[in-house]
Structures are given as structure tokens and as C-alpha cells.
């Protein structure tokens, strides 16, 4: 249950909501257009939309707002997300398995703790952006995992893409400490993460959703609250199941165009003007034609998402033959060493030298 508020219309937000955003992170009004604290924009500033639940502006008073924010997992997505929080003036503490990835954020003003447990213990709300279900469980529940630092009044927001069962497992352990849990996987890749334009698909404790909302709005352009834990994870997997199939189909089209003597660059242009236009085709098509795959969304993660989506479909006996076939292509690409390339490298699996 949500409604849309244009960022151009920030003055439609309640004063409570704006004051809450401002007090959360002192420089937050800059995110809304470079205005000084507590002043509202009076003219259109951007054309993006922010989705708010109908109760988001009734969140707790600013006295109750968390001020210390933890961030675990500083990969392609986690680094820019944490960076945006720091730039908004939040008091951010970071941890990453490979410590060197913390250094750029520390130089921007972040604090560092040597374990997820210590981050969680020192923060009010802790975000986690990990690779897959295994690492999400490890960081949350493993030795010196975040759960050991959680207690009543704290919140854990897992923004990794995982399956519902993993999310429920983590939620159960976090909540057993008295803390709150929110799953909030994101749609949007490296550039949207850098630009604070992610789409959050949240589910879990509504109270934590409301508390975390101003932070989500620093990192994203919209947020959906979907109810019980598992629903956010499921929505994300459905979206990425579609995306993985789209990319596989686009790859076939590019190769077929070339093989029949037409220019694939023209195909990209034609597609961009019609009903099947999608930003990822226009952005990635030109590089794919040159067999270049600069990594924004690692292929191994797309295959993981297809695998998890197929498991979800299996659990309700939904037929998904197109996604199943696409998954096979990503597996072939992985087996040829393309795991860390962008997921658009799936096209290589269709080229003669890589076919079995």
C-alpha cells in the first residue's frame, strides 16, 4: 500500500517527514536540492519519484531517531550506498571482509570496526549488502556476526539479494535479541547506487521501515513496503528473473542481426525507440557489440538470482521455461570464467566458440 510523491513536490511532504529527514542526517536537505536545513524546495528540482507508504510521514519523533548507521559489505553496491549516507552527513561505521575497501570511506569520514558484531553494537541501524545467501548468513549469524551486537532498540536492514528462507532465518535470529529486522533488496545497479536512485523492496518490521525511511531516501528514489519478511526478497527475485531473461533474449537478437549481415548498432537504436525499449539495452548494447563487459552487475550474481527465482517458482509449481533456459546460458558463461564480468557477458555463451 503506497502512494507516489514527486520529489519536485517536496512541499507536499508533512513537516514532520521533512524535519525527520533533516534531523536524521544534518546535510540531508542537500539531497532534496541543496537547501538549508528545514527549508522546503519551492520549485521543481528533479523529475524522479519517491514512493512513500501512507504512514511513513507519521514516523517516530526526531528524538527517537537513530543517529549512528552501520554498513556491512562494501562491494560494487555497498560502497556507493555507504558513501551517499556519509555525504548526507550520517554518522557511518563500516566493515568489509576485505578491509582495504573500507579505506576510501574512512577517508570520507566513516568510522571503522573490525567485525560485524562491533558495528552492530555501536550503531542504531545497521545495513548489510552482501553477495549471496551464504555471505548474508555468515555476516549476520556467523562468528562475530552482527546478531551478537544487536539488542532491543536497534535495527538490522539487509539489502542483499537473497531468497525468502534466508531472509526469514536472519530475521528470526535478529529479532530474538529484541532488535527489529527489515529486508530491503534493491533494484538498480552501480550507477543508480552512485546517484542515490535505487528502488527498495522492503518487508518486515514496519516500525523499522519508518525509522529507516530517511536513510533509504538518501540511497534511493523509491521504496515499497510489501508486508511480511520474504515478500521483498520474492519481489526482487521476480524482477531479476525477468531481467536475466531479457538480457539473454537481447543477446540472441544482437548475434542474429550480425549473422544476417545487419548492423547490431542499428538494432540497439531501433529497440531504443520502440515499446521494448529498456535502459539496459541502450546502456549495455554498444559495449556488448564490442565484446566489452565492464562490470556493473556481476554475471555470477545474475545467475544466483535466476537460480533462486527458479527455486521460488518451483515452490509454487509455477512454470518458468524461459527463465530456466536463460539460467542455463548464465551457467555456461560462468563455466567459461565470466563470473566477474558484467551479466551482459552472457552473450558470450551464445557464440560458437563457447557453445558445447
Ligand X SMILES: NC(=O)C1=CN([C@@H]2O[C@H](COP(=O)(O)OP(=O)(O)OC[C@H]3O[C@@H](n4cnc5c(N)ncnc54)[C@H](OP(=O)(O)O)[C@@H]3O)[C@@H](O)[C@H]2O)C=CC1
Distance from C-alpha of 179 to C-alpha of 201, rounded to nearest angstrom: 20
3-class DSSP state for residue 92?
strand
Min dist. Cβ of residue 179 to ligand LL5AMS7Z (A): 27
How do beta strands 198-204 and 91-95 pair?
A: unpaired
251 touches ligand X (CB under 6 A) = no
Active-site annotation holder among 236, 300, 304, 334: 236
CA–CA distances in Å: residue 213 to residues 55, 172, 202, 208: 11, 22, 10, 8
Which partner, ligand X, ligand LL5AMS7Z, none, binds residue 195 by CB below 5 to 8 Å per kind? none
CA–CA distances in Å: residue 94 to residues 65, 206, 343: 20, 25, 28
Nearer to ligand LL5AMS7Z by C-beta: 18 or 346? 346
Question: Interface with ligand X by CB under 6 A: which range of 43-51, 145-153, 294-302, 318-326?
Answer: 294-302
Min dist. Cβ of residue 284 to ligand LL5AMS7Z (A): 11
245 touches ligand LL5AMS7Z (CB under 6 A) = no
Min dist. Cβ of residue 127 to ligand X (A): 11
Distance from C-alpha of 255 to C-alpha of 317, rounded to nearest angstrom: 33
Closest to 281 measured CA to CA, from 311, 255, 322, 251 = 251
Closest to 265 measured CA to CA, from 250, 248, 286 = 286
328 CB contacts (<8 Å, ≥6 apart)? none
277 CB contacts (<8 Å, ≥6 apart)? 271
77 touches ligand X (CB under 6 A) = yes
Size of the site for ligand LL5AMS7Z (CB under 6 A): 6
Q: Which of residues 126-155 bind ligand LL5AMS7Z (CB under 6 A)?
A: none
Which partner, ligand X, ligand LL5AMS7Z, none, binds residue 231 by CB below 5 to 8 Å per kind? none
3-class DSSP state for residue 166?
helix
Distance from C-alpha of 176 to C-alpha of 254, rounded to nearest angstrom: 51
Buried b (16+ CB within 10 A) or exposed e, 289-326: beeebebbbbbbbbbbbbbbbbebbeeeeeebeebbeb
Nearer to ligand LL5AMS7Z by C-beta: 161 or 231? 161
Which partner, ligand X, ligand LL5AMS7Z, none, binds residue 190 by CB below 5 to 8 Å per kind? ligand X
189 touches ligand LL5AMS7Z (CB under 6 A) = yes
Residue number, nearest CB to ligand LL5AMS7Z: 189
Nearer to ligand LL5AMS7Z by C-beta: 135 or 240? 240
137 CB contacts (<8 Å, ≥6 apart)? 166, 169, 170
222 touches ligand X (CB under 6 A) = no
Q: Catalytic residue at 113? A: no
Nearer to ligand LL5AMS7Z by C-beta: 83 or 240? 240
Q: Which residues pair with 156 in a beta bridge?
A: 126, 181
160 touches ligand LL5AMS7Z (CB under 6 A) = no
What is the contact surface with ligand LL5AMS7Z in residues (CB under 6 A)? 161, 187-189, 240, 297
Active site residues: 236
What is the contact surface with ligand X in residues (CB under 6 A)? 73-78, 96-98, 101, 129-132, 135, 138-139, 160-161, 186, 189-190, 296-298, 301
Amino acid at each position: 500500500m503506497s502512494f507516489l510523491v514527486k520529489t519536485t513536490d517536496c512541499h507536499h511532504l508533512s513537516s514532520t517527514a521533512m524535519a525527520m529527514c533533516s534531523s536524521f542526517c544534518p546535510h540531508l536537505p542537500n539531497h532534496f536540492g541543496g537547501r538549508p536545513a528545514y527549508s522546503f524546495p519551492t520549485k521543481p528540482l528533479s523529475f524522479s519519484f519517491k514512493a512513500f507508504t501512507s504512514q511513513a510521514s507519521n514516523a517516530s519523533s526526531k528524538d527517537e531517531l537513530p543517529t549512528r548507521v552501520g554498513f556491512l559489505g562494501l562491494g560494487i553496491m555497498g560502497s556507493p550506498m555507504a558513501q551517499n549516507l556519509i555525504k548526507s552527513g550520517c554518522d557511518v561505521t563500516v566493515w568489509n571482509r576485505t578491509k582495504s575497501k573500507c579505506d576510501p570511506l574512512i577517508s570520507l569520514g566513516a568510522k571503522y570496526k573490525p567485525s560485524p558484531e562491533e558495528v552492530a553494537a555501536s550503531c542504531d541501524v545497521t545495513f548489510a549488502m552482501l553477495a549471496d545467501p551464504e555471505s548474508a548468513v555468515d555476516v549476520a549469524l556467523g562468528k562475530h556476526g552482527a546478531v551478537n551486537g544487536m539488542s532491543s532498540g536497534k535495527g538490522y536492514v539487509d539489502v542483499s539479494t537473497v531468497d525468502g528462507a534466508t531472509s526469514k532465518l536472519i530475521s528470526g535470529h535478529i529479532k530474538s535479541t529484541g532488535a527489529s529486522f527489515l529486508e530491503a533488496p534493491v533494484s538498480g545497479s552501480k550507477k543508480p547506487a552512485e546517484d542515490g536512485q535505487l528502488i527498495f523492496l522492503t518487508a518486515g518490521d514496519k516500525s523499522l521501515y519508518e525509522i529507516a525511511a530517511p536513510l533509504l531516501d538518501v540511497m534511493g528514489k523509491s521504496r515499497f513496503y510489501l508486508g511480511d519478511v520474504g515478500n521483498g526478497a520474492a519481489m526482487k527475485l521476480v524482477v531479476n528473473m525477468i531481467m536475466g531473461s531479457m538480457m539473454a533474449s537481447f543477446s540472441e537478437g544482437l548475434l542474429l542481426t550480425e549473422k544476417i549481415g545487419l548492423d547490431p548498432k542499428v538494432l540497439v537504436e531501433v529497440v531504443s525507440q520502440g515499446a521494448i525499449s529498456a535502459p539496459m539495452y541502450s546502456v549495455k548494447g554498444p559495449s556488448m557489440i564490442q565484446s566489452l563487459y565492464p562490470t556493473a552487475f556481476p554475471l555470477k550474481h545474475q545467475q544466483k538470482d535466476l537460480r533462486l527465482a527458479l527455486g521460488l517458482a518451483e515452490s509454487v509449481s509455477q512454470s518458468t521455461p524461459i527463465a530456466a533456459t536463460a539460467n542455463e546460458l548464465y551457467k555456461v558463461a560462468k563455466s567459461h570464467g565470466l563470473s566477474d564480468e558484467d551479466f551482459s557477458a552472457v552473450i558470450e555463451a551464445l557464440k560458437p566458440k563457447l557453445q558445447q
